[in-house]
Amino acid sequence: MENVLVTGGAGFIGSHVARHCVGLGFNTFVLDDLSGGFEDNVPEECTFIKGSINDVDLINKLFEEHKFVYVYHLAAYAAEGLSHFIRRFNYNNNLIGTINLINASVNAGTVNRFVFTSSIAVYGAGQVPMTEEMTPMPEDPYGISKYAAEMDLHSAHDMFGLNFTIFRPHNVYGENQNMGDRYRNVIGIFMNQIMQNQPMTIFGDGKQTRAFSHVDDVAPIIAKCVQIEASENQVFNIGAEKPYSVLELAEIAAKAFEVEPNINFLDARNEVVDAFSDHSKVDRVFGTQHYISLEQGITQMSAWAKEKGPRESSIFSGIEVSKNMPASWKAVMEKSSSN
């Protein structure tokens, strides 16, 4: 059996990719520091290692001991809006951590493919539908870190022959999502608020659009790409086709819980208004995809959420810049620090 490493495999998308890697017959190792994931998300067939991608000694030891053939890198803190205010944390985790893994992959000499989950945040604003041929123009530190990591993978391939596949997923939701994270994953936030009889919070007027992607439309393709020769050294948009407004999303989420939409509109924040992608390239290489509808996906996730129950919303404690932070976030943080 070939050894593979899944970073962030106790998190949301990573745990699903790890499950599909097991299904493909790989001996799957999961590395996660549990800062945003949960150990019970890790498939029981996997070997779990608690640790950070910024622990260089640990990374080098794992690559030396286990001779990984494929690396699936999904460990990240994917909070675009918050990334403006946690710039050092963002670059350490999302860029430097990735470089540590690339270095280890090159030095190990056993890695046949480095699979990296980037983001459509690399495109920035005003480029819809987003296609892989467009020149990325990220507008937030999160998108910048992801695009820098993409560029480094191209450089590592040219210099060292490290093969890669890059995926740019968008607005992924589904089972195993951390509903207690108040800074990312709007569907999880809505469900957590509904289960606590709180209003759903929307920044701005709610007319911003996203193509919300169920994890089952994303994780299987990421896992099997190493078996598709045509995906080698390529970049793919991956996710749902149809964009919805955040207002429409709130109505669908409320319906799944059989409640009336109760919405608290907050001041608009600095974010891309419309973000959805073209997926013709992934369809050409992997076959035409049949996407889970938003209504079906929300119904499926809500059943899981009801079983798990609400999670206490976390507060990020390491804010580096508070200037221009959304007032609702700042108020919560100030209240927390005063207690």
Pairing label, strands 164-169, 234-238: parallel
Partnered with residue 165 across adjacent β-strands are 115, 234
Which residues, other chains included, contact 227 with Cβ-Cβ below 8 Å and sequence gap of 6+? Answer: 24
Alpha helices in 209-245 (DSSP H): 219-224
Both tokens assigned to 173: 């939701």
Answer whether 145's CB lies under 8 Å from 94's CB. yes
Identify the helix (H) or strand (E) that includes residue 165.
strand 164-169
* pTM as predicted: 0.93
Alpha helices in the chain (DSSP H): 12-23, 56-66, 80-83, 87-91, 97-108, 141-160, 186-195, 219-224, 246-256, 280-286, 294-308, 327-338
Distance CA 260, CA 134 (A): 41
Partnered with residue 277 across adjacent β-strands are 130
Answer whether 217's CB lies under 8 Å from 254's CB. no
- Residue 36 is predicted with a pLDDT of 87
- Residue 339 is predicted with a pLDDT of 59
Distance CA 213, CA 161 (A): 32
User: Tens-digit pLDDT profile for the chain (339 aa)?
Assistant: 899 999 999 999 999 999 999 999 999 999 999 998 999 999 999 999 999 999 999 999 999 999 999 999 999 998 888 999 999 999 999 999 999 999 999 999 999 999 999 999 999 887 778 999 999 999 999 999 999 999 999 999 999 999 999 999 999 999 999 998 888 889 999 999 999 999 999 999 999 999 999 999 999 999 999 999 999 999 999 999 899 999 999 999 999 999 999 999 999 888 888 888 999 999 999 998 888 999 999 999 999 999 999 988 777 888 999 999 888 888 877 776 665
Going by the DSSP 8-state scheme, the letter that residue 202 receives in this structure is E
Q: How many residues does the chain have?
A: 339
- Residue 313 is predicted with a pLDDT of 75
